[in-house]
A and B are shown apart, each in its own frame.
Chain A
Amino acid sequence: MNSNSITVSSLTKKFSFSARNASSGWLKNLFSPETKEIVAVNDISFSVKHGERIAFIGPNGAGKSTTIKMLTGILFPTSGKVNILGFDPTKDRKKLAYQIGTVFGQRSQLLPNLPLTDSLEFFGVMYDMPDKEIKIRITDLIELFDLGSFITQPVRKLSLGQRMRAEVAASLIHKPKIILLDEPTIGLDVVAKKSLRDLLLKINKEENTTIFLTSHDVGDIESLCDRTIVINHGVVIRDLPTQDLAKTFVYEKYIDLVALSNFNNFPELPEGISYSSKDKNKITVVVDINKINVQESLKKLLDLFEVEDIDVYNANLETVIRHIYERDSTSS
């Protein structure tokens, strides 16, 4: 049996559009406009195993949404192949829809004026579930997502955090094998974000649901996903376990120096070391380990400053991701 939920090979999507040519007349622009082409997704390949939790990240315009749309059969690829649970989304969109759930963070799929139960029942019918099964599943979801306190309230009266929990619950009504989430925590406060992440982990563990998530929130990636695929300019630039993301690509170390009394002057630093932040009580420096190692850096820093405490650490994931994006933009 194939252990992959998703297999993508050499997937490419090009968009063509008419562009006005300033040097041509309006008649030529109207009847024979110039056609331009952009490559939104360029020859990407990856696979996802059953039950994996994948973060699919990249800066705006990187090709994330286009890829998700091709995975769900909404867009047809220009070339390449997609196989999800044995289905080709271009040919079996409806059949595939029974196996996947989707959550678009900025678009609600719930019925705003009616209680949440009506939306859940509605989606149950949409997925052709028998009435009895819908009732059982709703009871399960109420318990799993702790929806009981607001299940009878009209959806438009729910808080954003409650609504997002309800959105995810609605997308799981038919017990999908894969759930694709596009920015699920956007706009949520820290408590609601944590609650949603915990719930997604729970359904991943209890129902072995594959999670495929796009997000700009590093917390989502760190706490939820065991693998990260980074895409930029339509190309997969990194595909690795999330825990290795920070380790593998860090060519910088951060050193915090806590002042013994106060730092009164900030001398020029040796090559390979630069200030990240500086104030009287604490200095943070960035060390480029390609130019100078940590031991050497510490020696030089201790010659320059009188310190009470030192802390050496890797860049946080957000910084790492920013570096990856920036490095990729510079090299392309």
Chain B
Amino acid sequence: MKEIRLAAKILKTLVKDRIQYPDRLVVDTISVIARCGILLILYWYVFKLSNGVINGTTFLFAAWSIFFYFSFSVLRLRDISREIMRDIQTGNVEVLFSKPISYLSYRMWWQVGSGIYSFVVITLFTVAALFFIIGFLETMTIGIFIPTLILTFLCGAVLSLFLYTIVGLLSFWIEDINPVFWIVDKAVIDITFQEWTKHGIILG
């Protein structure tokens, strides 16, 4: 019960912080518009040149997939490794260890809280914008779509936090975890797009 109350307090406090100082929302919005928007325009041209379908994938499907990837990245859950590294380097970890909390759980909730406001605002507005610009996919109108999407996001969040927390904890042994971070980060993308991973997921 205490953990839930603390988690809720962390989220509430950080949302209040972000509302009071909306700079990060502006930065995140510009970042998503720039990266996602440019990519969508490029894809639109490429799909147009291929008569709207590439390898059986339509532009609509690709566009929504790209958007969901970018909206998830707004949460910046990967940054937990660098936050842990910073805590260790600055000694802030000692301040947190002197509190009656679990450091890792606290840090994870803090990471979620740091990005949740930008994530919700950007996702809602961009979904509305994309709906008016390109429209919904047919699968998105099925009742199970939103629960499945939320579950996917939750699983993604848990996996990201777990993986990048381990990377962050390496800071106790090595001074700078950035090289490890980049190796793991790129390895994750590589593993994700392997054929055997897809088979594994389907079989699972």
Residues of A near any B CB (own CB < 8 A): 69, 72-74, 93-95, 97-98, 100, 102, 104, 107, 109, 111, 113-114, 118, 121-122, 125-128
A107 CB contact (under 8 Å) in B5, B6, B92: B92
CB-nearest residue of chain B relative to A119? B13
Q: Which of B68-76, B98-106, B131-139 contacts A (4 or more CB under 8 A)?
A: B98-106
In the complex, the answer to whether B100 meets A128 with C-beta atoms within 8 Å is yes
Q: Say if the beta carbon of B17 comes within 8 Å of chain A.
A: yes
In the complex, the answer to whether A113 meets B17 with C-beta atoms within 8 Å is yes
What are the residues of chain A within 8 A of B16 when measuring CB–CB? 114, 118
Q: Say if the beta carbon of B20 comes within 8 Å of chain A.
A: yes
Q: In whole angstroms, what is the CA distance A154 to B69 when docked?
A: 35
What are the residues of chain A within 8 A of B98 when measuring CB–CB? 72-74, 97, 100, 102
In the complex, the answer to whether A122 meets B9 with C-beta atoms within 8 Å is yes
In the complex, the answer to whether B100 meets A114 with C-beta atoms within 8 Å is no
10 A-B pairs in the complex with CB atoms less than 8 angstroms apart: A72-B98, A74-B94, A100-B98, A102-B95, A104-B95, A107-B90, A113-B21, A125-B6, A126-B9, A128-B5
What are the residues of chain B within 8 A of A100 when measuring CB–CB? 98
What are the residues of chain B within 8 A of A95 when measuring CB–CB? 100
What are the residues of chain B within 8 A of A107 when measuring CB–CB? 90-92, 94-95
Q: Say if the beta carbon of B2 comes within 8 Å of chain A.
A: yes
- Contact size range, B: 10 to 19
In the complex, the answer to whether B97 meets A93 with C-beta atoms within 8 Å is yes
Q: Which 10 A-B pairs have the closest CB atoms?
A: A97-B100, A125-B9, A102-B98, A94-B100, A74-B97, A72-B98, A128-B2, A113-B17, A74-B94, A109-B95
A114 CB contact (under 8 Å) in B2, B13, B95: B13
Q: In whole angstroms, what is the CA distance A21 to B5 when docked?
A: 52
What are the residues of chain A within 8 A of B2 when measuring CB–CB? 128
What are the residues of chain B within 8 A of A118 when measuring CB–CB? 13, 16
B99 CB contact (under 8 Å) in A104, A111, A113, A126: A126
Q: In whole angstroms, what is the CA distance A102 to B91 when docked?
A: 14
**In whole Å, how far is A122's beta carbon from the nearest beta carbon of chain B?**
6
Q: In whole angstroms, what is the CA distance A125 to B13 when docked?
A: 11
CB-nearest residue of chain A relative to B91? A107
Q: In whole angstroms, what is the CA distance A107 to B16 when docked?
A: 23
What are the residues of chain A within 8 A of B9 when measuring CB–CB? 121-122, 125-126
**In whole Å, how far is B105's beta carbon from the nearest beta carbon of chain A?**
12
**In whole Å, how far is A134's beta carbon from the nearest beta carbon of chain B?**
11
Q: In whole angstroms, what is the CA distance A127 to B90 when docked?
A: 24
Q: In whole angstroms, what is the CA distance A127 to B99 when docked?
A: 8
In the complex, the answer to whether B5 meets A125 with C-beta atoms within 8 Å is yes
Q: In whole angstroms, what is the CA distance A73 to B97 when docked?
A: 8
Q: Residue among B5, B16, B99 with the most chain A CB within 10 A?
A: B99
CB-nearest residue of chain B relative to A95? B100
CB-nearest residue of chain B relative to A97? B100
What are the residues of chain B within 8 A of A98 when measuring CB–CB? 100
In the complex, the answer to whether A111 meets B100 with C-beta atoms within 8 Å is no
A126 CB contact (under 8 Å) in B6, B17, B20, B97: B6
Knowing that A104-B91, A114-B17, A122-B13 touch, tell me 11 more A-B residue pairs with CB under 8 angstroms.
Answer: A72-B98, A74-B94, A94-B101, A97-B98, A97-B101, A104-B94, A114-B16, A125-B5, A126-B100, A128-B2, A128-B100
In the complex, the answer to whether B13 meets A111 with C-beta atoms within 8 Å is yes
CB-nearest residue of chain A relative to B8? A125
**In whole Å, how far is B91's beta carbon from the nearest beta carbon of chain A?**
6
**In whole Å, how far is B26's beta carbon from the nearest beta carbon of chain A?**
15
In the complex, the answer to whether A111 meets B17 with C-beta atoms within 8 Å is yes
Q: In whole angstroms, what is the CA distance A143 to B170 when docked?
A: 44
What are the residues of chain A within 8 A of B20 when measuring CB–CB? 113-114
In the complex, the answer to whether B100 meets A127 with C-beta atoms within 8 Å is yes
Contact with A along B150-166 (1 / 0, CB 8 A): 00000000000000000
Q: In whole angstroms, what is the CA distance A94 to B13 when docked?
A: 23
Q: In whole angstroms, what is the CA distance A109 to B99 when docked?
A: 11
In residues 55-107 of chain B, which contact A (Cβ within 8 Å)?
90-92, 94-95, 97-101
CB-nearest residue of chain B relative to A180? B98
Q: In whole angstroms, what is the CA distance A125 to B4 when docked?
A: 11
Q: In whole angstroms, what is the CA distance A125 to B6 when docked?
A: 6
**In whole Å, how far is B83's beta carbon from the nearest beta carbon of chain A?**
15
CB-nearest residue of chain B relative to A115? B20
CB-nearest residue of chain A relative to B14? A111
Q: Residue among A104, A111, A126 with the most chain B CB within 10 A?
A: A126
What are the residues of chain A within 8 A of B5 when measuring CB–CB? 125, 128
What are the residues of chain A within 8 A of B91 when measuring CB–CB? 104, 107
Q: In whole angstroms, what is the CA distance A127 to B100 when docked?
A: 7
Q: In whole angstroms, what is the CA distance A116 to B71 when docked?
A: 32
Q: In whole angstroms, what is the CA distance A58 to B16 when docked?
A: 43
Q: In whole angstroms, what is the CA distance A122 to B5 when docked?
A: 11
**In whole Å, how far is B112's beta carbon from the nearest beta carbon of chain A?**
16
CB-nearest residue of chain A relative to B1? A128
